[in-house]
Amino acid sequence: MVTDRAFLTLDDIQVRYGDAVAVDHIDLGINAGEFVALLGPSGCGKTTLLRVIAGFVRANGGAVLLDGVDISTLTPEARRIGMVFQNYALFPHMTVADNIAYGLRSHRAPKESITPKVQEMLGVVRMSGYDKRLPRQLSGGQQQRVALARALAISPRLLLLDEPLGALDKNLREEMQSELLRIQRELGITTIMVTHDQEEAMSMADRIAVMNAGQVMQFGTATEIYDAPSTPFVSGFVGNSTFLNGVLGKSDDEHWTLRTSGGVELRFRSAGPCRRVGAARIALRPEQIELCDDGAAAVVRYARPMGPNTRVGVTLDDGTELQLAAPRERGADNLPAGMRVRVRINPRAVCPVFLP
């Protein structure tokens, strides 16, 4: 939804490379101070979109408006948008301090203000004292902090992050995630991050734009996207989903039923978008399915402990295969293969329903 309040507006952006469409008529409105993630598989156009905002790619159609001003034809250096690149792109022949000061000097900031600002930025990213180091003397995480400090030093109106955490190992990544978030909140800077890691997007972003094949499938909060995906793609991309086809019917005010072709009937609450009886498809997440005393009959295929949950694979009587995630303490670890059980959808769970 594009409103007048939006700080950054992408208005019908199109990018084509020959016959291939990279960005297919995208409208997006991002509010000031917001942390937005562009999430999608490789090739979905998220990086291209980011580069359009930065000014490195010229859109074939549409406009980019920043704070009400059309910046579509501005060169990258005129936009005052900070960018952190995937490989950090620190200037190898300059010290950390010179790297950070580079933007200040390019903007012709008064000489006296440069050193204090550099020190301030080093403090923000918690790298004080590293001024004289060269990039090759820093670890990956440290380089990333310097890259961030460098981008922030010019007091940008917008911060763009291109898969910033991809090269880090898991622990470091989580640490950097909270760091990034802390800094973003502290400075209140509007931030757009490109990532293919849905967990990262969901833990950091205020709103997520899920993209595929050059289009935005859904733009909403993590909860909205997870609980109420608007398309099967979103449902499948974010978290695990199993899709079931069948005939949708209404059970009572709050509950619906789906009858599969094999005759199995499941009862659930609907998140939409489809709300009419007839042929439909629902998406089930493992944590929404549970073992019970009365429900659809099924046979256990396997029970695998995985971290905090046990993944139990079952086959319904009509042949449908489901996977459910049971908390470890429920004792699901010991279910032998071949055992007959009963499963149902958790009555409080809300499932997305789509057209088939």
Among 92, 116, 308, 336, binds other proteins (CB under 8 A): 92
Angle, helix 140-153 to helix 111-124, in steps of 10 degrees: 140
Quote the CA–CA distance of 135 and 145 in Å, as a whole number. Answer: 11
- Minimum Å gap between C-beta 179 and other proteins is 18
Backbone angles phi, psi at 311, to 5 degrees: -90, 125
Among 2, 21, 74, 168, binds other proteins (CB under 8 A): 74
- Minimum Å gap between C-beta 195 and other proteins is 17
- Minimum Å gap between C-beta 303 and other proteins is 44
Cα 150 from chain centroid (whole Å): 24
- Minimum Å gap between C-beta 188 and other proteins is 5
Maximum pairwise Cα distance, the chain: 77
- Measuring CA to CA, which residue among 234, 216, 219 is closest to residue 24? 216
Report yes or no: 322 and 289 within 8 Å, Cβ to Cβ: yes
- In the complex with other proteins, the residue whose CB is nearer, 158 or 314, is 158
SS3 205: coil
- Minimum Å gap between C-beta 143 and other proteins is 12
Which pair of tokens denotes residue 249?
């019917």
Among 3, 42, 75, 334, binds other proteins (CB under 8 A): 75
Residues 283-312 within binding reach of other proteins (CB under 8 A):
none
Q: Which helix (H) or strand (E) holds 28?
A: strand 20-30
Q: Which helix (H) or strand (E) holds 21?
A: strand 20-30
Quote the CA–CA distance of 249 and 257 in Å, as a whole number. Answer: 5
- Minimum Å gap between C-beta 275 and other proteins is 42
- In the complex with other proteins, the residue whose CB is nearer, 52 or 298, is 52
- In the complex with other proteins, the residue whose CB is nearer, 190 or 230, is 190
Which pair of tokens denotes residue 257?
């039923």
- In the complex with other proteins, the residue whose CB is nearer, 77 or 333, is 77
- Minimum Å gap between C-beta 236 and other proteins is 32
Backbone angles phi, psi at 94, to 5 degrees: -120, 150
103 touches other proteins by CB under 8 A = yes
181 touches other proteins by CB under 8 A = no
Contacts of 12 (CB under 8 A, 6+ apart): 25, 26, 27, 61, 62, 63
- The torsion region of residue 331 among left (phi > 0), alpha (psi -120 to 50) and beta comes to left
Quote the CA–CA distance of 9 and 86 in Å, as a whole number. Answer: 24
- In the complex with other proteins, the residue whose CB is nearer, 5 or 93, is 93
The site for other proteins, by CB under 8 A, has a size of: 42
Among 5, 93, 111, 136, binds other proteins (CB under 8 A): 93
Among 2, 65, 89, 168, binds other proteins (CB under 8 A): 89
Question: x/- binding map, residues 133-172, to other proteins, per CB under 8 A?
Answer: -----------------xx--xx-x---------------
- In the complex with other proteins, the residue whose CB is nearer, 144 or 190, is 190
Half-sphere exposure of 307 (CA within 13 A, CB side): 1
54 touches other proteins by CB under 8 A = yes
Q: Which residues bind other proteins (CB under 8 A)?
A: 7, 32-33, 54-56, 58, 67, 73-78, 80-83, 85-87, 89-93, 102-104, 106-109, 150-151, 154-155, 157, 187-190
